[in-house]
Amino acid sequence: MTGFPNLFSPITVGSRTFRNRIFSTGHMTCLLNDDLVPDERFVAYHESRARGGAGLIIMEAARIHETGGHRNLDVSSDDAIPGLRRVGEAVQKHCCAIFGQLGHSGAYGVTTGDGSLGVSYAPSQAKSSRSHNISRELPLSLIHEYVAAYGSAGGRMKKAGLDGVEILASHALLPAQFLNPAMNWRTDAYGGSLENRMRFLREIIASVRDNIGPNTVLGLRISADELQEEGNSPDELLEVCRLVGNEGALDYLNVIAGSMIGLKGSIHVVPPMNIEAGYLAPHTEAVKKLVPIPVFVAGRINQPQEAERVLKSGQADMIGMTRAQIADPEMANKAREGRLDDIRACIACNQACIGHMQMGIGISCIQRPETGRELDYEQKPKTTSPRTVLVAGGGPAGMKAAAVAAERGHKVILCEASPRLGGQALLAQELPGRAEFGGIVTNLAHEMQVHGVEVRMETQVTLELIKSIEAGAVILATGATPHKPALEGQEDAHVVDAWQVIRGEANVGGRVVIADWRCDWVGLGLAEKLARDGCKVTLAVNGYTPGQMIQMYVRDRWIGDLHKLGVEIIPYARLFGADATSAYLQHVTSGEAIIVDDVDTVVTAMGHLPVTVLADALEDWSGDVLMAGDCLSPRTCEEAVLEGMKAGFEV
């Protein structure tokens, strides 16, 4: 008997009954072919989550018109039907329902296939402070064309055999722009009063319903709060939900928050780990009181316990657990079977899911690189030549390598020189708002345990040890150490590195300069930590902004927090010297000096150097040697785990 009676109870929405209350929200995967239709990777990705126990999968936003963006799944012609059918059949055979999603970005700037910025259309000549473009006002003829296009696209999804269709009116996309008086100052029938501003949305709903008929589920995704200056009023959005939810055409409302028009609202499109889990449930609770149809919710719900709590409290009827299933497609099955320790919990780092999408590359997960690569790595073929494999290093790279090699049938021994597994992930979790990052250590350690890896702590790997256990192969995952470049005048200065500060090994005093060459989470986290400790902090970054190398929603939220804490930020700054009271920087493009006085401590985050002592010692060893992670080249946790997985396959 499951410990989640609400989560695993069936629910009927319109004409369909779902086996449980877990669904995957629409999210871009970048797993499309050149014709913008699903390829085999797309099919395998969604089938994996259906096989894993989800009740419903909603595919990513599909463009209904050629003006809707060049990277989106294209359902503007009948050419889309065969690809949609392949995905639908793959998902439905696992007793999971599948919906399509219809969208148009409107004022949000869209690129074209050749990289130029296309013409964006919106209710009025609105501006997007995120993409820094001004849209063209939609003529009436194009409004009518869009309404018809929504309906035709929905009809194609029905012809493809999908179970339902969802209309996107969330995140300040085109229908939401019509609702917003700050973006819609039309004087015709589509502007002015709320009744007029709702006309476009109502016409879309009617058009889609006419094309899909009464027996295909129709839903609406809408932001209850855009959390953005000049965004839609939460009170008016609640009224919109009340009105459309009681008019009979819709079968459900999918409530979310955020806006893609500005940086502040965009953070909530895929909220990072320092935002509270389940924080949008009060919004859906308010909507549920006003409508007779089911209400869905998502937003930082990554554990079945949190999902059950929301359902039990009556705040929502279905729970979107998208990143939870990116990190672990078997999450639903594991929760239903009571195997909670086996669930690989999402840590909301955003690096390889939304981060990959924003780079235009296929979706994945830093903890589970098999995601998005299902065709190549989801199945772990058993080795035909089992042998003893020694893994040197218990960070993320080593743990993943050990788990995969053991799953494939090798006898695996992992040796870690320190008393704890985790490597640099142990440092990341100590920074403010980053505790969940430690989940990657827990998750990978559990994978090793499940597959029978022998772990030896406080054990330094040597050539003698390798020979004594008769290892047939060695996987090196020995990591890296902080780079400590020589600085002019440093003999008179108090200079410490980031690791010393995070570990509490340094007394930094009251006035600190952080020299952040990496432009990633380290400088941002150190600045927040020290500012919260009461220090006056200057963050000097060798790039154009702090967090330049990490996903923008994580970065933007963090920079906002630093601004509130009074952290001074100096971009384009290279550290070259320090003395007892000053830090000496140089502007990286002008070459001019930047001097910060009255400094107690300079904290360096200057990158890392690979640890290659063991690799050098094994240069002439006759066995197989593979390398993964920072000892090969210092990068991020994503590359470490990916290379660990590949090493586990290759050995």
Q: Cβ-count burial of 279 within 10 angstroms (0-12 exposed, 13-18 middle, 19+ buried)?
A: middle
The phi, psi pair for 477, rounded to 5°, reads -140, 55
Kindly list the domain boundaries of the chain, sorted by start residue.
17-375, 380-482+610-650, 490-606
pLDDT in tens, 358-370: 999 999 999 999 9
Whether 380-482+610-650 and 17-375 are alike in CATH topology: the answer is no
> Is 347:619 a contact under the CB 8 Å cutoff?
no
pLDDT in tens, 617-633: 999 999 999 999 999 99
> Is 229:264 a contact under the CB 8 Å cutoff?
yes
pLDDT-derived band of residue 195, with 50, 70 and 90 as boundaries? very high
pLDDT of residue 131: 82
Dihedral of the CA atoms 14, 15, 21, 27 (nearest 10)? -80
Token pair of 145, please?
Answer: 């064309």
> Residue 156 above 50 pLDDT?
yes
Q: What mean pLDDT comes out for the span 264-286?
A: 95
pLDDT of residue 539: 98
Helix 552-564 with 521-532: angle, nearest 10 deg: 20
CATH fold of the domain at 490-606: FAD/NAD(P)-binding domain (3.50.50)
For the chain, percent of residues with pLDDT exceeding 90: 93
Lowest mean pLDDT among 33-37, 114-118, 380-384, 418-422: 114-118
pLDDT in tens, 494-530: 999 999 999 999 999 999 999 999 999 999 999 999 9
Q: Which residues contact 176 (CB under 8 A, 6 or more apart)?
A: 169, 170, 222, 223, 226, 232, 259
Q: What mean pLDDT comes out for the span 200-211?
A: 98
Q: Return the bridge partners of 32, or none.
A: 38
pLDDT of residue 132: 85
> Residue 32 above 60 pLDDT?
yes
Q: Which residues contact 566 (CB under 8 A, 6 or more apart)?
A: 531, 536, 537
pTM over 0.85: yes
pLDDT of residue 1: 45
The helix, strand and coil proportions of the chain, stated in percent and rounded to the nearest 5, come to 35, 20, 45
> Residue 456 above 60 pLDDT?
yes
> Is 477:566 a contact under the CB 8 Å cutoff?
no
Q: What mean pLDDT comes out for the span 252-258?
A: 97
Strands, E assignment, 170-266: 217-225, 252-257
> Residue 448 above 90 pLDDT?
yes
Nearest to 250 by CA among 286, 296, 309: 296
Q: How far apart are CA 518 and CA 547, in angstroms?
A: 8
pLDDT-derived band of residue 107, with 50, 70 and 90 as boundaries? confident
pLDDT in tens, 570-583: 999 999 999 999 99
pLDDT in tens, 578-610: 999 999 999 999 999 999 999 999 999 999 999
Nearest to 583 by CA among 567, 572, 598: 598
pLDDT of residue 110: 73
Q: Is 140 helix (H, G, I), strand (E, B) or coil?
A: helix
User: Which string of DSSP letters, residue by residue, matches 146-191?
Assistant: HHHHHHHHHHHHHHTT-SEEEEEE-TT-HHHHHH-TTT----STTS
Q: What mean pLDDT comes out for the span 234-263?
A: 96
* Homologous superfamily (CATH) for 380-482+610-650: NAD(P)-binding Rossmann-like Domain (3.40.50.720)
pLDDT of residue 188: 97
Amino acid at 79: D
The one-character DSSP state at 341 is G
CATH code, residues 17-375? 3.20.20.70
Nearest to 301 by CA among 550, 97, 51, 22: 22
Mean pLDDT of all residues in the chain? Answer: 96
pLDDT-derived band of residue 286, with 50, 70 and 90 as boundaries? very high
β-pairing, 318-320 vs 568-570, is unpaired
> Residue 111 above 90 pLDDT?
no
Amino acid at 173: L
Q: How far apart are CA 648 and CA 401, in angstroms?
A: 5
Token pair of 216, please?
Answer: 């295909």
